[in-house]
Structure 1
Amino acid sequence: MNFKEIKELIEILDQSSLTEINIEDKGNVINLKKEKETEIITPQISQQPVQQSVAPAETPATLPSASTDVTTTSNDSDAKTINAPMVGTFYKSPSPEESAYVQVGDTVANDTTVCILEAMKLFNEIQAEVTGEITEILVEDGQMVEYGQPLFKVK
């Protein structure tokens, strides 16, 4: 077969519904395969429904913490808080298999990593920015937090 005949076979394959042509001619074997056209599908990720389904389940757990926070604040006039620098999901450890960055009773310095906040699939390590002892963890692992929301109490 010459180049012109091969080119014609390619055009026939391209215009037909066939996906493959195999030809043997004078000891020469020609295999032509049409690759499937791949459609690019862009997944649409919506965090809104996930947040809505998680928030109601965690709201009852959050309410007692809020009332405890008010009571403890009146008792501890020298207590400081570590607040969320952004909106995101709070994680107390780098992965579910690892232990928490800090626990109640741990001493922290300004540069101690205390948690991770996930925002838009980016994991941001949060530093204590205060020195002292963790007296209370105010949020649950996996909970959505707002900008400025207290995360830890430090004495």
Structure 2
Amino acid sequence: MLKVQEIREIIKLIDQSSITEFTYETNGTSVTMKKSGNESAKASASITAEEMNQQFISIDESPQVQESPVQPQASTGSAVDDKADNNPDYDYEIVSPMVGTFYASSTPESEPYVSKGSSVAPNTVVCIVEAMKLFNEIEAEVSGEIVEIIAENGELVEYGQPLFRVKKK
């Protein structure tokens, strides 16, 4: 998936070129940008970057991508019942407490904090989320075993987005 900054750069390049339509597809996601042909140069020059995002970009998710409501972290097992049909291998999701960039390790050269199969305690640091040049250590908050790592290193994550799936002990 393209990052927001990459999409902004593509918008600028397309706006400055004679290209009227651009499509990029990867991993079941399609990004299509189209310029209107009937606008004058003056009008298009006064469009802000945010208006361009709204006007030129449409993102089509494939039917394979499913979004599920975020379960509160303080749930008492009801998340297990709701997800038992989909994936019985986990019963807790560690979610991002903020919008930022996900990092699996403290430095690019370091080993990841956790990997699939790692045992975690409530105070175990599982990743870092960088927001506005502040690096925030994210703790597991439960005891268990990491059964899935959902986020990818360097990926932009949203508030409440699942990062890890854990099987509680």
**TM-score bracket relative to the smaller structure:** 0.5 to 0.7
Letter in 1 for 2:112: A
Q: Secondary structure at the match of 2:86?
A: helix
Give the superposition deviation at 1:49: 3.0
Matched, 1:49 2:5: yes
Give the superposition deviation at 1:117: 0.3
Q: Secondary structure at the match of 1:114?
A: strand
Q: Normalised by the size of structure 2, how large is the TM-score?
A: 0.52
Letter in 1 for 2:125: T
Query: Comparing both structures, which one devotes a greater share of its residues to helix?
Result: 1
Q: Normalised by the size of structure 1, how large is the TM-score?
A: 0.56
Contact 2:121 2:140 in 1 (8 A): yes
Q: Name the structure 1 match of 2:71.
A: none
**Structure 1 segments unaligned to the other structure (5+ residues):** 1-46
Matched, 1:94 2:61: no
Query: Identity across aligned pairs (percent)?
Result: 50
Q: Name the structure 1 match of 2:142.
A: 130
User: Distance in 2 between the 1:115 and 1:140 partners?
Assistant: 11
User: Distance in 2 between the 1:130 and 1:101 partners?
Assistant: 15
User: Distance in 1 between the 2:113 and 2:7 partners?
Assistant: 24
**Structure 2 segments unaligned to the other structure (5+ residues):** 10-23, 30-60, 69-82
Query: Bigger radius of gyration, 1 or 2?
Result: 1
User: Distance in 1 between the 2:165 and 2:145 partners?
Assistant: 8
Residues 98, 78 of structure 1: alpha-carbon distance in 2 compared, 3 angstrom cutoff: closer
When the two chains are superposed, the root-mean-square deviation of aligned CA atoms in Å is 3.4
Give the superposition deviation at 1:76: 1.3
Which stretches of structure 1, 4 residues or longer, exceed 6 Å deviation after superposition?
61-64, 68-73
Q: How does 1:50-129 map to 2 (within 5 A)?
A: 52=8, 60=27, 67=65, 74-76=86-88, 79-129=91-141
Contact 2:89 2:147 in 1 (8 A): no
Contact 1:81 1:150 in 2 (8 A): yes
* Count of residues in correspondence between the two structures: 104
Q: Name the structure 2 match of 1:21.
A: none
